[in-house]
Structure 1
Amino acid sequence: MMISLFRSTLSKCNQVAWHLLFLMAGLPGIAESQTVSKYIVVDQFGYRPSSEKIAVIRNPITGFDAAESFSPGDNYALVNASDNSKVFSATPEIWNGGKEDASSGDQAWWFDFSTYDTPGNYYVLDVDNNVRSYEFTIDEHVYAEVLKHAVRTFFYQRAGYNKPAQYAGSNWADNASHLGTLQDAFCRRYDDKSNASTERDLRGGWYDAGDYNKYTPWTANYIVGMLNAYESNPDIWGDNYCLPYSGNGTPDLIDEIKWGLDHLLRLQDSDGSLISIVSLAGGSPPSSATGQSLYGGVNTTSALAGAAAYAYAARIFSDLGMGSYSSTLLESAKKAWNWADANPNVIWKNNSSEYNSVGIGAGQQETDDYGRFAYKMRAAIHLYQTTGDSKYKTFIESNYQDIHLMQWNYAFPFEEENQQMLLHYASLQGVSSEVASSIKDTYKAAMEGTDNFSAFYSEVDPYTAHLATYVWGSNHIKARKGLMFMDYITYTDGSTKYDDAAKAAERYLHYIHGVNPLSFCYLSNMYAYGADNGVNEFYHTWFGDGTDWDRVGTDPYGPAPGYLVGGANPSYDWDSCCPSGCGGASCDAAQRSRIVGQPSQKAYDDFNTSWPMNSWSVTENSCGYQVGYIQLLSKFVSTSEQSGCEINVTTGAQAPKNYEDIAIYPNPSSGTLIIGHKGSSVVKVYNMQGELVIDQKAMAEEQIDIRTLPDGIYQICLFKNGQIIYRDKVVKR
């Protein structure tokens, strides 16, 4: 816990620059410097003490880095970063007899230090080559801060909500968007946009992804996913996520869910049907968008998706003591169900010439017959659990065998949500024992398949997180794959494999956090919270190419922290008008070649160029990706305790370590530090536990008395006008 606090405290002192300097240069009198190697990959945040801990050492064979090579030494060590002591040593084991892995194009070795469980900050060292991994933490609460920022992305995605600097950070502060003339509060129908009588108040909700549109079925899915994350582990959700509603006595995740539900309620007509989409104009920042907001038609898909979200939420909010709100939700759920049951085939597609809706939204929210059936099953399950009404049970037990899990005896991550809902039903009171057994037994058998436990035991992926197929949104599929193993633990009686299932599930987190052939953390701008090499830019209207929020390290602000991007996608390609028929728009052949034709796990690049380079199929975020990741991550967080409520405002314009007019000396020191600089500043010193031990104003040549501090390493930070201007490590001895 104390080490996690230390790392989070470093966010106050611009951990990005400190990581680079500390890792690459070492500390005077403390450690000989070693080069950080991209060939030794680890979870950049770290590991829980009880977790499996495997550093993957890679030698590229095929792909963009095929001309490179790395031959690991025989001697590897886990090194305590505080004093550079070697605490564990072993020889790395070659993966699969040295064969190349087709999915990554790499040869690999594993350095397994799972047996070491002492909390602290560490790195993996190739002793013979004198190269090292990024630094990481071993601590029970290593993912608590990461979870907080993953959830906070929904705050940044809120439409029509003010984002003051106090909570958003000065870099991502923005006024409420889409509340101007003819926007969300005065939204008009897509095919009658000049008619004031069609106006509806459709405020709220979330920007769905990198675009600002709000798709009703997907909004409902996000609510269901977040409700599941909450219900699965209710004690971990804090009321301290540094948001405007933090400290109100309700977990911030519940506040976020309610924000989505309030929007979903506005979408419902009096007859129970739901509007399917609200199409919003773009702009960077979002508050600069001035275009008209338009809503689409109603459809069965939206009604069924909404019914499930309303019914699930009604039960949770009732348990939270919000009886009136719960009653409203349950009434809406019943109305939506009844309308959809009476109107089972109302189809409406956005962005379609067939429906005269070209330009309304981007992604297609409408689904097919099977998709509507699965939504109806989900709605029936939550309505049955909330109401106990047998009519919903009758529908479920008459139709459950038509869900693909039961039809195909096959479990796969693309339908994890459908599989989980059946398993959840099988766990409820009053369910027919034959039905419950059939569902659980089918799932257990399916999990023994080639791509599930069999792949885990066969160690088919050198990066430990096997996927049979990499497609658009592969990081989301990775998260869903991890959740499949957690569903096995939650809903079956296969206790002899529970430990293996948990180990398999956590491997998918490690992949997202850096255990992949790119040594890349797939979360945006998390340098202040433990990541070392991650998403600097991604496809998003706010953080778009050429804006002030474009890229960490280049542009004034960079994107906000914590967004999960789509991930490796070997089906990526530029627009068909390329290379020369795009009306003068740039077709970057070098950028294309960096992804097209690569091994599946290498089919990614850190870019956000829009049409015709179409980066969205690789780097776009999605609330759907985010929810799946939050659900999986929350399985490995055991407390709601998270450090402080101070949001680091890391920008692309990092302050250098030393200014010509700032010096701190002597270092090491036994008693007094001198702060040599012009003007005045605020000096803050933090110990290795992340505790603030000195906080005082400093004028030119100010003396800081550290005689009473225990010997050790401290972080010192200088602030002017609330902004970091200098940070360094100092040694008291």
Structure 2
Amino acid sequence: MNTKILFLPAFLAMATFSFAATAYINQIGYHPANFKELTLFEGGGNVEFVDASGNTVLTVTPSEASTWNGSGQSVQLVDFTELKTPGTYSIKVNGQVVRKDLKIANDALDGVSKALLKFFYYQRASMALDETYAGKWKRSAGHPDMGVAFHSSATGGSGTLDSPKGWYDAGDYGKYIVNSGISTYTLLSLYEHFPAYFDNLKWNIPADGNLPDLLAEIKYNLDWMLTMQASDGGVYHKLTTLQFCGTVMPNEDVDTRYVIGKSTTATLDFAGVMAVAARVYEKFDATFAAKALEAAKKAYVWAESNPSTYYNQPRDVATGTYSDNNAKDEKNFAAAELFVTTKDASYALQGAYTTIPGWAEMNGLVTYTKATHPDLFSDAAAAKDSLLSAADRYAKNAATGFGVPMTKGDFYWGSNSVAANMGVWLLYAYYLSGDKKYYQSALKTLDYLLGKNPMDMSYVTGFGSKSPMHPHHRPSQADGVSEPVPGMLVGGPQPGGEDIGKNEWECKDYRVNGAPAKSYLDDECSYASNEVAINWNSPAAYLAGAIQAINSGHVPSFAAEGVIALPKTRPVLNTNDGAPKVRFDTHRVFIERNGIRYDLKGNRLGAAGRVE
């Protein structure tokens, strides 16, 4: 008996020693000049980074361990920013190799940032996806949406409505104005902030005249949204069937489609988006821009006369509701964007600051707009203060655990979009302040989405060492292709369990008690954790796209002094051969040829770094 008692602790000690540490990383890769961090679980001692030749090129001591309340794990953060040479590395902990897929590359995020944007092409309604653009995910056209019937709830509608184009909202085939609103705005703002970068960026989608790819994709949805405005200015809430269809391809869903409801929230979302579109598209298509602005003004007038026409789901309809019985934030949003576009003081409403936006909480977008237009809004300083105050909280949260700004309470339906929107918020804080802590926290948020999370997986389909293979997305489920459509951000872990049940089509319980960040299931049944949606992809696309633009030397025109594209630690290149070289100083990226410096627009710079 005594022998057994003495033997058991020794056995357990040996077993514990044999456990391998887990290193959670951005599985897509890190830019050489950016901040870099991984999360270590059950580690101990230093972390070694080993190159392809077997040489240890960097050794790092992890931070003190702390418990992250999102997963209940005691973890350490490892800052390996000094690893700058492009390549693929192995990670050793306690002499054991725990990963072999750490990538450092200048174009690390290029593929995934384009894929997050191309997702919207795969969501197009009313058109076939040709193999030229869609590859093996090609499909026949579905939902032409010509001659659509008006549901009895669509007041003022008679006869039928031609309402083609637009994006499917999520894993289903509905088209919803409210969710299209915030999604389209987010992509428009990405272009508006980095026009020079996106004017030249392509990702293999059909051309639309002289429009850059990003604006061509957005316009496909704007064209649909414009069809949903009634002659009185009000905007219909959605276009769907009465019930969700089964797991079929778009062309196989032949149930009758209806224009359903008319709402103040949809109308104001529409107004705000069209106001942004008017100023963004003006230099490409003045006629379209004028049409968008006229539609925005007309919608705003209708909403002022109908301030509380809220959407109530009819009894015979079971598709997504997007119901919201408070239109004050939508009015603030529409008014702010109309004011920026028109400079008409009647739209200059006061107040309305909040934290991260969502389809039912548009004041976050108002905060962005006011804080970035100090020349227009008298309360811009208050909006900026509100934005930076929230960003400070997010940056503090990102300094521990898995480096994501989220806390336990942030894991609800669509938690990955919560993370992405926090990352966007942090970028705005960086633009406005120049404080690199916000940029680093935004980078860490993207790292979380791309693999540095408790599930040790990239949440974007088709990217990473491990990524979702069975999203709740009808085309991916029904197309016969083993891999899902690439570039889709799944909703992510959350403990609600709305899809759990005893029916054959429901999920078994996948929740982890006390660990919402682990409550995720990669299964088609899990619409509560593994569905996709345009309002989840859009902030992720902004986050990755903006970081790519910054790494390419672009910053928004309203950015504060000190916002830089790359750290000054980038190596200075030899310029003796007379060829143009990219160089970096503390404040800016510039080109040097034969000892003369130029900015990225070709302007000659003097000794002080200013245009001569």
TM-score, normalising length: structure 2 = 0.80
Q: One-letter code of the match for 2:109? A: Y
Equivalent residue runs for 1:276-287 within 5 Å: 276-280=237-241, 282=245, 284-287=248-251
Q: Distance in 1 between matches of 2:506 and 2:374?
A: 58
Could you tell me which of 429, 453, 473 is aligned with 1:488? 429
Could you tell me which of 70, 82, 101 is aligned with 1:135? 101
2:302 paired residue number: 339
CA drift of 1:106 comes to: 1.7
2:490 paired residue number: 565
Could you tell me which of 41, 44, 50 is aligned with 2:24? 41
Residue 431 of structure 1 pairs with residue 376 of structure 2? yes
Q: CA 1:241–1:150 in 2, change beyond 3 Å: closer, same or farther?
A: same
Q: Is the contact made by 2:420 and 2:543 (CA closer than 8 Å) also made in structure 1?
A: yes
CA drift of 1:464 comes to: 4.4
Equivalent residue runs for 1:11-160 within 5 Å: 39-59=22-42, 72=43, 74-81=45-52, 83-96=53-66, 100-126=67-93, 128-129=95-96, 131-160=97-126
CA drift of 1:135 comes to: 1.2
CA drift of 1:92 comes to: 3.3
Q: Is the contact made by 1:233 and 1:634 (CA closer than 8 Å) also made in structure 2?
A: no
Q: Is the contact made by 2:396 and 2:405 (CA closer than 8 Å) also made in structure 1?
A: no
Runs of 4+ aligned residues of structure 1 deviating over 6 Å after TM superposition are none
SS in 1 for 2:459: strand
Q: Is the contact made by 1:460 and 1:466 (CA closer than 8 Å) also made in structure 2?
A: no
CA drift of 1:303 comes to: 1.2
Could you tell me which of 365, 386, 389 is aligned with 1:442? 386
Could you tell me which of 207, 210, 216 is aligned with 1:245? 207
Residue 376 of structure 1 pairs with residue 331 of structure 2? yes
CA drift of 1:463 comes to: 4.3
Deviations 1:289-344 (A, max 9, x none): 111111112121111111111110000001x3311111111111111111111111
CA drift of 1:58 comes to: 1.3
Q: CA 1:416–1:186 in 2, change beyond 3 Å: closer, same or farther?
A: closer
Q: CA 1:113–1:79 in 2, change beyond 3 Å: closer, same or farther?
A: same
Structure 1 residue runs of 5 or longer lacking an equivalent are 1-35, 60-71, 406-410, 550-555, 610-614, 642-733
Equivalent residue runs for 1:358-373 within 5 Å: 358-359=317-318, 361=319, 363-369=320-326, 372-373=327-328
Q: Distance in 1 between matches of 2:159 and 2:132?
A: 38
Could you tell me which of 325, 346, 368 is aligned with 1:391? 346
Q: Is the contact made by 2:86 and 2:105 (CA closer than 8 Å) also made in structure 1?
A: yes
Q: CA 1:261–1:607 in 2, change beyond 3 Å: closer, same or farther?
A: same
Residue 315 of structure 1 pairs with residue 279 of structure 2? yes
Q: Is the contact made by 2:150 and 2:158 (CA closer than 8 Å) also made in structure 1?
A: no
2:176 paired residue number: 215
SS in 2 for 1:109: strand
Q: Distance in 1 between matches of 2:113 and 2:210?
A: 19
Q: One-letter code of the match for 2:31? A: R
Q: CA 1:93–1:158 in 2, change beyond 3 Å: closer, same or farther?
A: same
Q: CA 1:185–1:485 in 2, change beyond 3 Å: closer, same or farther?
A: same
CA drift of 1:358 comes to: 2.4
Structure 2 residue runs of 5 or longer lacking an equivalent are 1-18, 553-612
SS in 2 for 1:108: strand
Q: Distance in 2 between matches of 1:445 and 1:523?
A: 30
Deviations 1:176-233 (A, max 9, x none): 1112xxxx1111012399xx96211011111100111111121122111110111122
Q: Distance in 1 between matches of 2:179 and 2:449?
A: 23
Q: Distance in 2 between matches of 1:515 and 1:236?
A: 28
1:607 paired residue number: 523
Q: One-letter code of the match for 2:385? A: D
Q: Is the contact made by 1:275 and 1:298 (CA closer than 8 Å) also made in structure 2?
A: yes
1:685 paired residue number: none
Equivalent residue runs for 1:687-706 within 5 Å: none
Q: Is the contact made by 2:210 and 2:284 (CA closer than 8 Å) also made in structure 1?
A: no
CA drift of 1:596 comes to: 4.7
Q: CA 1:192–1:310 in 2, change beyond 3 Å: closer, same or farther?
A: closer
Deviations 1:225-272 (A, max 9, x none): 1101111222332452111228x5422110011001100111111111
Q: Is the contact made by 1:41 and 1:56 (CA closer than 8 Å) also made in structure 2?
A: yes
Equivalent residue runs for 1:397-546 within 5 Å: 397=350, 400=351, 403=352, 405=354, 411-412=355-356, 418-428=363-373, 430-431=375-376, 433=378, 435-448=379-392, 451-456=393-398, 459-469=399-409, 470-491=411-432, 494-495=433-434, 498-526=435-463, 531-544=464-477
1:289 paired residue number: 253
SS in 2 for 1:47: coil
Q: Distance in 1 between matches of 2:253 and 2:396?
A: 50
Q: CA 1:392–1:536 in 2, change beyond 3 Å: closer, same or farther?
A: same
SS in 2 for 1:636: helix
Q: Distance in 2 between matches of 1:203 and 1:437?
A: 42
Could you tell me which of 610, 626, 629 is aligned with 2:540? 629
CA drift of 1:572 comes to: 1.6
Q: One-letter code of the match for 1:85? A: N
Q: One-letter code of the match for 2:233? A: G
Q: Distance in 1 between matches of 2:498 and 2:253?
A: 29
Q: Is the contact made by 1:308 and 1:380 (CA closer than 8 Å) also made in structure 2?
A: yes
CA drift of 1:484 comes to: 1.8
Q: Distance in 2 between matches of 1:274 and 1:346?
A: 11
Q: Distance in 2 between matches of 1:153 and 1:249?
A: 21
Q: Distance in 1 between matches of 2:403 and 2:520?
A: 16
Q: Is the contact made by 1:52 and 1:503 (CA closer than 8 Å) also made in structure 2?
A: yes
CA drift of 1:548 comes to: 4.9
SS in 2 for 1:77: strand
CA drift of 1:557 comes to: 2.7
Q: One-letter code of the match for 1:138? A: I
SS in 2 for 1:534: coil
Q: One-letter code of the match for 2:330? A: Y
Q: Is the contact made by 2:274 and 2:293 (CA closer than 8 Å) also made in structure 1?
A: yes
SS in 2 for 1:452: helix
Q: Is the contact made by 2:153 and 2:261 (CA closer than 8 Å) also made in structure 1?
A: no
Residue 173 of structure 1 pairs with residue 135 of structure 2? no
Q: Distance in 2 between matches of 1:94 and 1:427?
A: 38
Q: One-letter code of the match for 2:373? A: L
Q: Distance in 1 between matches of 2:260 and 2:151?
A: 6
Q: Distance in 1 between matches of 2:265 and 2:321?
A: 12
SS in 2 for 1:276: strand
Q: CA 1:447–1:416 in 2, change beyond 3 Å: closer, same or farther?
A: farther
Q: CA 1:427–1:109 in 2, change beyond 3 Å: closer, same or farther?
A: closer
CA drift of 1:485 comes to: 1.4
2:567 paired residue number: none
Q: Is the contact made by 2:264 and 2:303 (CA closer than 8 Å) also made in structure 1?
A: yes
1:701 paired residue number: none
SS in 1 for 2:251: helix
Deviations 1:544-602 (A, max 9, x none): 3xx454xxxxxx43211110001010122545xx44xx4xx3666xx31x325251111
Deviations 1:386-416 (A, max 9, x none): 11111112xx13xx2xx253xxxxx456688
Q: CA 1:134–1:245 in 2, change beyond 3 Å: closer, same or farther?
A: farther
Aligned-pair identity (%): 26
CA drift of 1:446 comes to: 4.2
Aligned-residue CA RMSD (Å): 2.7
Q: Is the contact made by 1:307 and 1:336 (CA closer than 8 Å) also made in structure 2?
A: yes
TM-score, normalising length: structure 1 = 0.68
